[in-house]
Amino acid sequence: MRIVIITGMSGSGKRTGMKMLEDIGFYCIDNLPAGLVSQFVELLTQPGNEYSKVALGIDIRTAGSMKNFAQVIKCLKQNGHDTEVLFLEASDKTLIKRYKETRRIHPLAGDGTIEEGIKKERVELAPIRKQATYIIDTSNLLTREFKEELDGIFRKNEQYSNLNVSIMSFGFKYGIPADADLVFDVRFLPNPFYIDELKNKTGLDKEVRDYVCQFDETGEFLDKLEDMLNFLMPCYVKEGKYNLVIAIGCTGGKHRSVTLASKLYDRMKTRKDIGFKLSHRDVNAN
């Protein structure tokens, strides 16, 4: 029997995730006390039961559950069950926004603030997060993207990485992306904006890409950046980072940055151990 334990921060999308797993054939039970998990699984494995995939939701609402979590996982594995832990995460800003929109009270807030409740929960869940098989940050995920992540892991059984890298182009004239972890300035390259036939095109057009890539500095920059990222990414994984935003900027975010971000993505996307996404923030800005 394949058992998936779904846990994580309150407000990060556990109920939504449970519904999505149910849609792909999992038998789902939410808010189950950790102390009852082993007994429940025993019932499901009795002769006559045909459950091959089970998802169990465990969270901070069930008093004492988190203290027994490690022992529960250990027992399930010792009994021969294929057990995985899916930990759902979200930024403090996102969680606070979601709680305010739904007008719900954080389970650990008590008479305090939502922010205080989130802080307490992160401390209590830290040991569990370290045991997670998969960590998904839902802060910036659309419902469709969240479904694709779960579908890839639990239906298609694709290889999953706990580090997701977003490569983004942007224009400095519109400001540096607030969520950028690494920012690279490619304004040292000649600007296609001053070439009449390229001015109104973007790095999505072959003519612009060919112009930017003709310079030796372009290839050398990409080689050095790729080498540095190949060094950094395993270090980020080791330290528990699950989302990395690489921002590549030029003046207007239409020519050089779009070209370089696209070329970097093409080089990196073939890696199977890390997920990559590409976006162009200002390519259509006025």
pLDDT, position 62 = 64
In the block, residue with structure tokens 């690494």: 182
**Shared-domain flag, residues 178 and 115:** no
CATH number, position 75: 3.40.50.300
Element (H, E) at 243: strand 243-250
What contacts 285, CB < 8 A, 6 or more positions away? 171, 174, 252, 253, 254
3-state secondary structure (DSSP) of residue 169: strand
Mean pLDDT over 194-201 rounds to 95
Is the predicted pLDDT of residue 123 greater than 70, yes or no? Answer: yes
**Residues for the chain: how many in total?**
286
Predicted confidence at residue 186, as pLDDT, reads 98
Residues 90 and 216 grouped into a single domain: no
Which comes out higher in pLDDT, residue 164 or 17?
17
Reported confidence tier of residue 159, pLDDT bands at 50, 70, 90: low
Domain identity same for 93 and 142: yes
Residues 35 and 129 in one domain: yes
DSSP-assigned letters across all residues of 37-75 = HHHHHHHHTSTT----EEEEE--TTSTTTGGGHHHHHHH
What pTM, to 2 d.p., does this model score? Answer: 0.63
Over residues 230-252, mean pLDDT:
88
Q: Per-residue pLDDT tens for 57-116?
A: 988 776 455 667 878 888 888 888 888 999 999 999 999 999 988 888 888 888 889 999
CA-to-CA separations, 1 to 84, 108, 150, in angstroms, rounded: 11, 33, 18
Is the distance from CB of 260 to CB of 169 less than 8 angstroms? yes
Q: Say if residue 174 is in the same domain as residue 270.
A: yes
Q: Which of 154, 180, 215 is the last residue of a domain?
A: 154
- pLDDT single digits (tens) 133-152: 888 989 888 888 888 888 88
Domain count, the chain: 2
Q: Is 270 among the domain residues? A: yes
Q: Are 198 and 211 contacting, i.e. CB atoms less than 8 angstroms apart?
A: yes
Q: 5, 31 in Cβ contact below 8 A?
A: no
Q: Which of 119, 154, 189 is the last residue of a domain?
A: 154
- In whole angstroms, give the CA distance from residue 168 to residue 85: 30
Closest alpha carbon to 44 in 16, 96, 8, 81: 81
242 and 127 in one domain? no
| Distance, CA of 114 to CA of 108 (rounded, Å) | 8
Cα pseudo-dihedral 106, 242, 143, 5, rounded to 10? -70
Question: Same domain, yes or no, for 142 and 46?
Answer: yes
On the question of pLDDT at 15 being above 60, the answer is yes
Residue in 223, 230, 237 with CA at minimum distance from that of residue 270: 230
Q: Report the mean per-residue pLDDT for the chain.
A: 88
Expressed as residue numbers, the domain containing 84 is 2-154
- Which of the four pLDDT bands, split at 50, 70 and 90, describes residue 43? confident
